[in-house]
Amino acid sequence: MEKAYKLLAKQEGISNKRAKELIDRGLVYILDRKVKIARAEVAKDTRFRVESIDNIDIIYEDDTIIAINKPPLLDSYEILDILKSRDKNIELIHRLDRDTSGVLLLAKDRAFLKDAINAFKQKKVKKRYIAWIEGMFFEEITIDAPITTHKRGNKAFSKIDKKNGKPAITVVKPIEIQGKKSKVSIEIKTGRTHQIRLHLSSIRHPIVGDERYGSVTRSKRVLLHAKSISLLGYEFEAKEPKDIIRYK
């Protein structure tokens, strides 16, 4: 037996540090099972599969804003670091979870960044998401359930808390059903941490691949895509990746 990251490093001809990073980012698999713990003991004849990350696609850019179609499995701050290498003034306007693909906005101008952040605070930003969820979903529903968020180490975990939670409203509409999975359109009226994931889980329709919030289906990632966003007169839409266009 050998630690997963050490065996991966040998197989790929990379450093132990790089092997750990690949596992921590959810890019390493044994057959169809994701390797979740870099220090896990595995058999010495284990063969790994390493998934690649799609290129960053710039949807739009001008003197004040950059709109990115963020690939899944890439952290928002990693994208920021890449873009800062060409312009140190670039800053994130908002963030997407590592697994989430879709529209990510960055500001190139301090004054615009301030205006954009205020627009978020004043709920003047419209965001629409697409997701594949567990079960068959037939009718539009509005989920109004307050949320509190707690940090556990470097990870956040949210829960519905009717007494102490902050207001959170999510509107979910059906698009199509494939087997026992459903594709839905989602609009959020608020922007709480893990709001969409928690709200869908609360109605027994967790997002496919979202093991933290109750999905029982294995997936390379949580199948959530930030389809479109509009703020301060701008409107952007991100093409759906293959795993969102069609579920398997």
Distances (CA, A) of 68 to 57, 147, 161, 220: 6, 28, 34, 21
Q: Is the four-CA dihedral 242, 138, 124, 95 of positive or negative sign? A: negative
Task: Measure the CA–CA gap between 131 and 172, rounded to whole angstroms.
Answer: 10
- 100 and 14 share one domain: no
- 108 and 201 share one domain: yes
Residues 144 and 131 sit within 8 Å (Cβ to Cβ): no
How many domains, the chain?
2
Confidence at residue 74, expressed as pLDDT on a 0 to 100 scale: 87
> For residue 165, what is the DSSP state?
P
- 32 and 93 share one domain: no
Active site members: 97
Task: Measure the CA–CA gap between 96 and 104, rounded to whole angstroms.
Answer: 7
User: pLDDT truncated to tens, each residue of the chain (248 aa)?
Assistant: 889 988 898 888 989 988 888 888 788 888 878 888 889 888 888 999 888 776 789 999 999 999 999 999 888 998 998 888 888 899 999 999 989 999 999 999 999 999 999 999 898 999 999 999 999 999 999 999 999 998 877 778 899 999 899 999 999 999 999 999 999 999 998 889 899 999 999 999 999 999 999 999 988 899 999 999 999 999 999 999 999 998 77
3-state secondary structure of 208: coil
Task: Measure the CA–CA gap between 111 and 114, rounded to whole angstroms.
Answer: 5
CATH number at residue 106: 3.30.2350.10
- 91 and 165 share one domain: yes
Neighbours of 47 (CB within 10 A): 10
Confidence at residue 208, expressed as pLDDT on a 0 to 100 scale: 97
Cα Rg, the chain, nearest whole Å: 19
Residue 96: give the domain boundaries. Answer: 57-245
- Phi, psi (deg, nearest 5) at residue 234: -95, 145
- 11 and 109 share one domain: no
**Tokens, residue 90:** 């670039």
Q: Residue 198: which of 144, 243, 127, 247 has the closest Cα? A: 144
Distance of CA 59 to the CA centre of its chain: 18
